[in-house]
Amino acid sequence: MLAAFVLGAVALIIFAMPSDAAAKTKRGINASTTNLTCVQEAVTDRETAIGTAYEKHFTAMKTALTDRKTALTAAWGKTDAKQRRTEVKTAWKEFRADKSAAHKTLNTERKAAWKEFRSTVKDDCKQSAVAEDSESSDTLN
The domains of the chain are located at 34-56+65-125
Q: What is the mean pLDDT of the chain?
A: 81
Task: Tell me the CB-side half-sphere exposure of residue 91, using CA atoms within 13 A.
Answer: 18
Q: State pTM to two decimals.
A: 0.68
* 108-132 pLDDT, tens digit each: 999 999 999 999 998 888 887 666 6
Cβ-count burial of 48 within 10 angstroms (0-12 exposed, 13-18 middle, 19+ buried)? exposed
Measured CA to CA, the distance from residue 2 to residue 118 in angstroms comes to 48
List the one residue out of 36, 39, 41, 96 whose CA is nearest residue 64. 96
Q: Residues 26-51: what's their mean pLDDT?
A: 79
Task: Tell me the CB-side half-sphere exposure of residue 8, using CA atoms within 13 A.
Answer: 5
Measured CA to CA, the distance from residue 124 to residue 17 in angstroms comes to 30
Q: Residues 58-71: what's their mean pLDDT?
A: 98
